[in-house]
Structure 1
Amino acid sequence: MAGVILCKDSRFRFVYHYRIIGLVYMKDKFFLMHMMPIVRAHIAIFDENGNVKEQLSESREEDLKLYSEIIKKSRKDFPYIILIDTSVVVCVMWNEPEKEFIVIGKTALYSEFENRNQDILECPKDTYTSAIILIWNKLTGKMIGKGDLWTKNIVLDDSVSKFITENIFEYQENGKLHNPYAQEQREHDSIRRGDIEGLKASINEVYPGEIGKLAENQVRSIKNVAIAVITCASRCAIEGGLNAEKAFSMADGYIMYIEEEMNDPVEIERVVREAEFNYARDVHDLNRKNIKNPLIHQVKDYIFSHIHEQLMVRNIARYIGVSPNYLSEQFSRFEGVTLKQYIIDEKIKSSEYLLKFTDYSLQEISSFCAFSSQSRFSVYFQRKNGITPAKYRKMYQKGKK
């Protein structure tokens, strides 16, 4: 007995071929058919010799020929992923019980490499990875990790090895030196400890050597160095106790600003140093308060991650697993301020950034920060800063000019 079901997406025209032998449903194919909308690719089945046995969706003739050639290079003990174009992959898996190859057709791992004219659609890399792992587990019963899937499918060809060798040779031949590792460690350790003076000293060190060249284009190279420095600084700050989500968000903001808005090497370096010192100051402030109660860290992490939501003491207490009274008492004792006031202060701090760096209206900012009304937002803001939000924005923008 056979049946056909058509998918709504006309680009794929999924044809669900299934057979019922007795009452045993062909579960593997049923599973594969429902994976097609997830991987957003055609799936075809080939025999051991690379001949098409069945198409679960209609592939182009030239693509089937390509898949047949890829099968000849593939392996049977692990999913075989091959890069056929920039960020476009094909995956081949061996199905031992049926003595057949399952081919998941051309997929773009990033949206900018989609080509709808050739039925190449994007499936985000993380989603694609999970889908391949699930299909492999379904076919073989074996479990593999995300890291293993890609490391076992990455082969550095001779051109990469040659480039690296030539780069090392050039440094050796010209007597070039990088900045000392020990200096870099002192810089990192200063951020980790919140030692602002130590950070200044490490940055001002004089040493033989230079920062590595990370691209032929000078601005691109400086941007790459900036990304590396800010990323390392964020991790050091986390090791020093800074909230991870805050550290990551700061790094994302600095890096995006450098990438999108900056092309002056001097200005880029200034922003990098600003980032390092801001991380060090944040860790310094944490150390100065000498918070040892993990409960307080947990509360602050929660507030930071939910700052654009309505925050109630009872809801935070329920999330952490303590009573509202106990939470309020502990927070006040360690912080010297009530939990309610801390929440308001953090929301005002968030609004200050929005007033400085965005064009959102006061009503929108009030809504983003989850104040009950714009008037209530203005009252709290003026109580903390001594001026209204509108005057604060005007003062800052005037200062920028």
Structure 2
Amino acid sequence: MQPLQLALDYFQRVHHCPISNWQKNNRCWALETKDLSAPLNNDFDINQLGSQCNTDIPLITGAHGKIIVLVKLNQQKLILIGPVSADQISEPHQTFLEGVCLIQNLISATNLHASDLISQTRYFQELRQAQQKSAAQHLFNAHETSFRHNPYDEEQRELNAIATGNKEQLKKALNESFTGSYGTLAQNPLRSFKNLAIVDLGLVARAAIKGGMDYEDAFSLNDSYIQSIENARTADEIYSITVNGKFEYLQLVKKIQQKSLASDHPLVQRVKAEAAIHLHEPLTVATIANHLHVTPNYLSALFKTSTGMALKSYLNLCKINASQNELVYSSLPIGQIAVNYAFASTSHYDQTFRKICGVSPRRYRQLHQKLE
């Protein structure tokens, strides 16, 4: 049996849809054999569609919840797949579109994938245009009502807390007040809240992966939380599940990072401990090396080999990360914050902050400050 026929037979068995052969006679397309198990209705004009179909990419079109696919063998013959339910090709784990691509690739020696059909075929282009129209209307309505979403920077503080295993930072971020509102993701309020929670926990899982958690473990835990959210019956229950999920991910990340710290060279562990304890004191490679009774060059080389980061850069990073909380949650003058973290001057603090964060301390405060 030819590869094309094998592919067609397999496709038909897997997807349980009719497949028929059509031939052009006197400018009209007609079935080669009268064996179409799901006859076409007036929604599909094969004569018109056949003339629009190319030999290098399938034509996909739909009407009233039904889809057909035309794959052209040549100018005189084509294969018609369907009609099938539109749901059949929208399921994320279905291989319908990849199967169509395989059939086309066997016919025309192309290298199509499902993403090519979504980006190039008329059916999906019409869906995309409808979505763009809906998005434009939604944006217009939001502008008309002066709607504001919850702030992006608050979300980033939550995610950063989880990625770094910082429980106190997560508590502060969760307790912040803001003027915006959560978006509406469904007409039913409970369904909308569930969708928001699912998106939220998806971001949290990725933050935990960034913090060192195995991605399979992170996604499996995420699946479990999503199932719990789906079974929830009230908004309070959904909120409780979401918050508990954030703290569970944080604790898992913290354990991983503590285990990683324990595997560091003993001197590297002592350097990190010294940095955490003495953030408000002048910290230099020389002073730490002196405390640990080793030479600065040896300590710098060991730290770089063990962590991939220069020791001086690590010390500055610890101070800048700690100072960010004071910029966000206090009204202390920036000069005072520079003094608190033992920088030589406000300009030195500003220069170091810009190098690490990409903006000045003043601008960072303008963007993120949340006074309690």
Q: Which residue of 2 aligns with 1:62?
A: 40
Change (3 A) 1:236 1:50: farther
Structure number, greater radius of gyration = 2
Inter-partner Cα distance in structure 1 for 2:85 and 2:184? 31
**Conserved 8 A contact 1:44-1:52:** no
Q: Which of residues 80, 90, 95 is equivalent to 2:68?
A: 90
1:184 aligns with 2:161: no
- Secondary structure of the residue that 2:44 maps to in structure 1? helix
Q: CA deviation at 1:95?
A: 1.7
Q: TM-score, normalised by structure 2?
A: 0.61
**Conserved 8 A contact 2:150-2:182:** yes
Q: Which of residues 30, 52, 58 is equivalent to 1:52?
A: 30
Q: Which of residues 44, 57, 63 is equivalent to 1:78?
A: 57
Change (3 A) 1:42 1:274: same
1:35 aligns with 2:2: no
Inter-partner Cα distance in structure 2 for 1:75 and 1:125? 28
The one-letter code sitting in structure 1 at the alignment partner of 2:97 is T
1:207 aligns with 2:139: no
Change (3 A) 1:64 1:45: farther
Q: Which residue of 2 aligns with 1:269?
A: 239
Change (3 A) 1:123 1:208: closer
Change (3 A) 1:168 1:292: farther
**Conserved 8 A contact 1:42-1:56:** no
**Conserved 8 A contact 2:23-2:32:** no
Q: CA deviation at 1:278?
A: 0.9
Change (3 A) 1:289 1:67: farther
Note the alpha carbon deviations across 1:143-187, whole angstroms, 9 max, x for none.
122322223331236653333222212221222211111221121
Unmatched 5+ stretches in structure 2: 264-372
Inter-partner Cα distance in structure 2 for 1:269 and 1:72? 55
Q: Which residue of 2 aligns with 1:166?
A: 137
Inter-partner Cα distance in structure 2 for 1:233 and 1:214? 19
Note the alpha carbon deviations across 1:342-373, whole angstroms, 9 max, x for none.
xxxxxxxxxxxxxxxxxxxxxxxxxxxxxxxx
Inter-partner Cα distance in structure 2 for 1:221 and 1:251? 18
**Conserved 8 A contact 2:150-2:178:** yes
The one-letter code sitting in structure 1 at the alignment partner of 2:22 is F
Change (3 A) 1:162 1:134: closer
Change (3 A) 1:160 1:110: closer
Q: Which residue of 2 aligns with 1:136?
A: 104
Unmatched 5+ stretches in structure 1: 1-24, 114-121, 294-401
**Conserved 8 A contact 1:214-1:221:** yes
1:253 aligns with 2:229: no
Change (3 A) 1:233 1:46: same
Change (3 A) 1:251 1:83: farther
- Secondary structure of the residue that 1:290 maps to in structure 2? helix
Q: Which residue of 1 aligns with 2:115?
A: 147
Inter-partner Cα distance in structure 2 for 1:248 and 1:107? 33
Inter-partner Cα distance in structure 2 for 1:55 and 1:105? 15
Q: Map 1:1-400; keep pairs closer than 5 Å.
A: 28-29=4-5, 31-48=7-24, 49=27, 51-55=29-33, 58-62=36-40, 66=44, 68=46, 70-86=49-65, 88-96=66-74, 99-108=76-85, 126-153=94-121, 154-155=124-125, 156=127, 159-259=130-230, 261-290=231-260
Note the alpha carbon deviations across 1:114-167, whole angstroms, 9 max, x for none.
xxxxxxxx9985321231121111101111223222233312366533332222
Q: CA deviation at 1:64?
A: 9.5
Change (3 A) 1:58 1:216: closer
Note the alpha carbon deviations across 1:206-243, whole angstroms, 9 max, x for none.
22211112123221211110111011111211222212
Task: Give aligned-pair identity as a percent.
Answer: 26
Note the alpha carbon deviations across 1:256-275, whole angstroms, 9 max, x for none.
2211x212112211111111
Q: CA deviation at 1:291?
A: 6.6
Q: CA deviation at 1:194?
A: 1.9
**Conserved 8 A contact 1:42-1:106:** yes
Change (3 A) 1:56 1:199: farther
* Aligned pairs, number: 257
Moved more, 191-200 or 77-86: 77-86
**Conserved 8 A contact 2:18-2:38:** no
Q: CA deviation at 1:53?
A: 4.5
- Root-mean-square deviation (CA, aligned residues, Å) is 3.1
The one-letter code sitting in structure 2 at the alignment partner of 1:242 is M
Inter-partner Cα distance in structure 2 for 1:123 and 1:30? 24
Q: CA deviation at 1:77?
A: 3.3
Inter-partner Cα distance in structure 2 for 1:149 and 1:99? 23
Note the alpha carbon deviations across 1:44-78, whole angstroms, 9 max, x for none.
12235451242495334435983615435544431
The one-letter code sitting in structure 2 at the alignment partner of 1:227 is I
Inter-partner Cα distance in structure 2 for 1:223 and 1:40? 34
- Secondary structure of the residue that 2:248 maps to in structure 1? helix
Structure ranking higher on relative contact order (CA contacts 8 Å, 6+ apart): 2
Change (3 A) 1:124 1:252: closer
Inter-partner Cα distance in structure 1 for 2:215 and 2:222? 11
Inter-partner Cα distance in structure 2 for 1:239 and 1:200? 20
